Amino acid sequence: MNCGCQLSPGKQIEGLPRQLRPRFLEGLSKADVNYVLSLAKHRQCRTSSVILHQGEVADQFFLLTSGQGRHFVMTKDGQKVLLYWLTAGQVFGGGAIVSTPYHYLASTELLSGSCALMWDRRTIRDLLARYPQLLDNTVSIAVTEHGSWFVATQVSLASEDARGRIAHLLVSLSCGIGKATAEGVELKVKNEDLAAGANVTAFTVSRTLSEWQRDGILTKRRGKLLLRKPYLLA
């Protein structure tokens, strides 16, 4: 799989995929970016690889360079609860940057043959000390992206019925991981994913999507959804 990362014969990272401009690296000179990348390790992941595990010591920090992923937690009764979704350019494993050893609050699963860059805890903390802009970027991402997602999710769960939560989740996903096409916005998401993310049953998701398909709002495909009129869900 060619993820677009520029690698030396010795597998050292020499550059990111074209058009990828991670917020994490904003404000650094090209030379500084190259130095930060040179200390990372390149990871290729098969579909549905769990790269970070809930409860384990947080000792790795990642930048997703291709594909997509998501955070999830497992409840005591074995239920999988989906949290924040990831797209190329986003970072995860933030527990590795805190001064006191920490543990991951959620697991992270990468989908569709994704690739990521990894820094171990000591390396990323040294880089944050050397380049304060990296720490500022990380805090900014946590406050804006993660904070906004958390607030929106809590409001949705508190105020929406089942249909409203599914609609809210679809709109959020279309903005985050959706692919614009001539027919609408395509999402690689299954009924089980929507059920876990909206806190409803898979039967409720299936019934609701079938109704919206009859109304022309979306089209269901194998492992995908095409949102033809996402504005009707907002």
Structure tokens at 144: 């804006």
Position 144: which residue type? Answer: T
Three-point CA angle 25, 102, 105, nearest 5°: 85
Q: Could you read off the pLDDT of 105-162 as tens digits, one per residue?
A: 999 999 877 899 999 999 999 999 999 999 999 999 888 777 666 766 776 677 678 8
Q: Are 152 and 83 in contact (CB under 8 A)?
A: no
* Residue keyed to tokens 């033809």: 228
Which are the contacts of 188, defined by CB distance < 8 A and separation ≥ 6?
68, 111, 112, 177, 223, 224
Give Cα 123 to chain centroid, integer Å. 23
pLDDT at 57: 95
Q: What is the arithmetic mean of pLDDT over 86-92? A: 91
pTM above the 0.85 mark? Answer: no
Amino acid at site 73: V
Domains, the chain: 6-151 (2.60.120.10), 160-232 (1.10.10.10)
Q: pLDDT averaged over the chain?
A: 88
Distance, in Å, from the CA atom of 46 to the CA atom of 33, rounded to the nearest integer, reads 27
pLDDT digits 0-9 by tens, 16-73: 998 899 999 999 999 999 999 999 999 988 888 899 999 999 999 999 999 888 899 9
